[in-house]
Amino acid sequence: MRYIILFFLFIMVMGVNHLHYNYLLSGDAGMSGEYIGYIFIGPIIFSAIISAIVCLIARKRNSASFIRGCCWVMGLMLITSAHSLLRKSPSQEYVFSKEKITVTIPNKHWRDYKNDEGKNFLITHDANAAIMINRWSQKEKGIYSFKELTDTQKETSAFIEKFPDQDLTLKTCEVKGAQCRYQELNLTLQNNQKKRVIYTYLLDSDDFIIITATIAPEFIDSYHDDVMKIINSVHNTK
């Protein structure tokens, strides 16, 4: 009977942990390995080690006590995992504090990342999509309207060379507290690596804001909708 109880507890822990960590399956082999560790290997090893330690301390060295201990540990793991899953909202707000921009993260694929210069990004767990924000005063950039932005792009040889023979038309988007336009372009880096780049431009009463999203070409189908949801959720809090 104890073995049956332990088996069903293990199955339930696997199910709850799958709901918690299934985003890892969309990543590379390393992330798939993490998924296996969280779902299968971790619960077995953790419950066995804790139960063995308790049995040694209590001087109960028979198999029945060990299995009973594993059941208790597995039950506690089920409770804590379920509680954590229920508390974690599938979407949550994230604040780019320096840029005074708030966005809604649609799912658990995304996490915060800070580079060596202290710049905050949102990136996916597999690092195949990223979002960053820059904010300047309109006076600093000399851009007070989207027409001036378009004219500047057309007159900047570096920008034209970066995106040759591409449609630079600005498309309309809606953001609370600012005027919004965006461009979706294909970029080839110096190492011949390709990226889909989505530039979103915001103009409020004083500032010029650029939201830059990049997606690896083979992951466009996976992350394009997420990126657009994040962009459409932008709230200018200044």
Q: What is the mean pLDDT of the chain?
A: 85
Q: What's the number of domains the chain is made of?
A: 2
At 23 the pLDDT is 64
Report the alpha-carbon distance of residue 6 to residue 191 in Å, rounded: 53
Residue that is written with structure tokens 């299995």 in the block: 67
At 199 the pLDDT is 94
How sure is the predictor about 26, in pLDDT bands with cuts at 50, 70 and 90?
low
What mean pLDDT is predicted for residues 23-37? 70
What mean pLDDT is predicted for residues 99-103? 88
What mean pLDDT is predicted for residues 141-155? 89
111 and 73 fall within a common domain: no
Of 48, 66, 87, the one marking the end of a domain is 87
Is 31 or 79 the better-scoring residue by pLDDT?
79
At 28 the pLDDT is 58
Angle at 12 between CA 51 and CA 63, to 5 degrees: 30
180 and 209 fall within a common domain: yes
At 91 the pLDDT is 67
78 and 21 fall within a common domain: yes
161 and 223 fall within a common domain: yes
103 and 165 fall within a common domain: yes
Q: Which tens digits make up the pLDDT trace of 166-177?
A: 888 899 988 888
Report the alpha-carbon distance of residue 139 to residue 149 in Å, rounded: 13
Residue 29 pLDDT exceeds 80: no
Dihedral angle computed from the Cα positions of residues 170, 197, 166 and 172, in that order, rounded to the nearest 10 degrees: -10
Q: What is the CATH number of the domain that holds 136?
A: 3.40.1000.10
205 and 97 fall within a common domain: yes
Residue count (the chain): 238
152 and 228 fall within a common domain: yes
147 and 220 fall within a common domain: yes
78 and 155 fall within a common domain: no
Say if CB 106 and CB 42 are below 8 A apart: no
Of 87, 105, 132, the one marking the end of a domain is 87
Q: Which tens digits make up the pLDDT trace of 33-80?
A: 778 888 888 899 999 999 899 988 888 878 888 998 899 999 999 998
33 and 143 fall within a common domain: no
Residue 89 pLDDT exceeds 70: no
Say if CB 100 and CB 208 are below 8 A apart: no
How sure is the predictor about 90, in pLDDT bands with cuts at 50, 70 and 90?
low
16 and 72 fall within a common domain: yes
Q: Whole domain around residue 144: which residue ranges?
A: 92-236
What mean pLDDT is predicted for residues 145-170? 84
- Give the lowest-confidence range in 29-33, 60-64, 136-140, 234-238: 29-33
